[in-house]
Chain A
């Protein structure tokens, strides 16, 4: 965010501000007390929070079943105070299908990374979307396999260095970074498909609205709602968090542009 030239100033003593009645933002109760296992600056934490805030605000926590993937967020169920299932790598949309079909009155979301959703789980992703399963998929795209130590992901950018593409991803050998969200948006079974990011306050606000909308679509039985979040992996990218979000802006977003790809309308 551009720095304001005028720095505001107030003389109110801190002990008059820091009182319970003046709280305007605090951690949602749907977080457990466990410390997030993610690296400093990782976007997973914000994505987790937005999902939990939306669930809290909709008052549906007692009807939600979440699905954790394999990847850095494999332990997502340690942090979300919800009933959750842990899926095999890539299979979350199949679990979600089984849950939702036999429990149509519940809310079901899967939380998946790029390797999970767009490589090993491509079939499950595409077919759950194509059947119009009435679920919400949250897709974290940081262009790399974080959990296993920074290997190439299906979404790794051309030329991007990873531990398995140490000289950069060569599309002639490794193919091009897959825009799975664009693929998913093609399918008639999806009702809402959007790409968001969470590395600035303004984008966080937008992303939260998108996640809320995705759950509202599920509530309205409209089909599969899909929210991609372009995120950073400072450790995998070998940068500081601040460098990483700058790199994300300059490299990821031109290839993965933000915004709604599909929104059929909630009415």
Chain B
């Protein structure tokens, strides 16, 4: 069990579907959606949210800064 839990929120309508975040994510958290956003782009979303550590990799390479990253320490009460 990870001691850190992360999550990202993608600003869907500003995503241009470049996939650089998917490519950069070390833990295969992200994937491209099957449907498209208001601009017609497939957008990035968390396919495996439980693997996200909030490492920032996706957000750092995102050319349009559409990714906001959250991170918490996993409470001690959580069991593996």
Interface 0/1 of A178-221, CB less than 8 Å to B: 00000000000000000000111100110000000000000000
Q: Which listed residue, A7, A18, A44, A46, touches B51 by the CB 8 Å rule? A: A7
In the complex, A264 has a CB within 8 A of chain B: no
Q: How far is the CA of A59 from the CA of B70 in the complex (A)?
A: 24
Tell me the dominant secondary structure on chain A's binding face: loop
Q: How many residues of A contact B (CB 8 A)?
A: 46
A241, B24: Cα distance in complex, Å? 12
A176 to chain B, nearest CB (A): 29
The chain B residue with its CB closest to the CB of A20 is: B70
CB distance from A212 to the nearest CB of B (A): 15
The verdict on A172 contacting chain B, using a C-beta distance below 8 Å, is no
* CA distance in complex: A44, B78 (Å): 42
**Is A45's CB under 8 angstroms from B64's CB?**
yes
**Is B20 a contact of A3 with CB atoms below 8 Å?**
no
> A17 vs B56: C-alpha distance in the bound complex, in angstroms?
15
Residue in contact with B5 in the complex, picked from A12, A39, A198, A204, CB distance below 8 Å: A12
In the complex, what residues of A have CB within 8 A of residue B59's CB? 25
Do A201 and B71 touch (CB < 8 A)? no
- The number of chain B residues with a CB under 8 A from chain A is 46
Once the chains bind, are B19 and A241 in contact (CB under 8 Å)?
yes
A23 cross-chain contacts in B, Cβ below 8 A: 68-70
A3 adjacent to B28 (CB under 8 Å): yes
User: Nearest chain-A residue to B23 (Cβ)?
Assistant: A242
Whose C-beta in chain B lies nearest to the C-beta of A52? B65
Instruction: Kindly count the residue-residue contacts between A and B in the assembled complex, taking CB atoms under 8 Å apart.
Output: 130
B47 to chain A, nearest CB (A): 12
Asked whether, in the complex, the Cβ of B70 is within 8 Å of the Cβ of A10, the reply is no
Q: Which residue of A lies closest to B16 (CB)?
A: A40
Question: Within the assembled complex, what's the spacing in Å between the Cα atoms of A35 and B36?
Answer: 17
In the bound complex, residues from chain A placing their C-beta under 8 Å from that of B60 are: 25, 46, 201, 204-205
CA distance A36 to B26 in the complex (A): 26
Most chain B CB within 10 A, of A23, A24, A46, is at A24
Given the interface pairs A9-B50, A12-B72, A242-B20, the reply to whether A1 lies near B28 with Cβ below 8 Å is no
Q: Does A8 interact with chain B (Cβ within 8 Å)? A: yes
Contact indicator B65/A10 (Cβ below 8 Å) = no
Residue of B nearest to A198 (CB): B61
B2 in contact with A41 (CB, 8 Å) = no
In the bound assembly, the distance between CA atoms of A10 and B55 in angstroms comes to 14
Q: Assess the A1–B24 pair: CB atoms within 8 A.
A: yes
Complex Cα distance, B16 from A113, in Å, reads 22
The one of B28, B71, B74 that contacts A24, using a Cβ cutoff of 8 Å: B71
Residues of chain B contacted by A18 (CB below 8 angstroms): 7, 9, 70
Q: 7 smallest A-B Cβ distances: which pairs?
A: A45-B63, A41-B18, A40-B16, A40-B18, A201-B57, A12-B5, A25-B69
Enumerate chain B interface residues (CB-CB to A < 8 A).
Answer: 1-2, 4-7, 9, 14, 16-20, 23-24, 26-28, 41, 48-65, 67-72, 74-75, 78
Given contacts A10-B5, A10-B52, A200-B61, 4 further A-B contacts (CB under 8 A): A22-B71, A35-B64, A201-B55, A241-B19
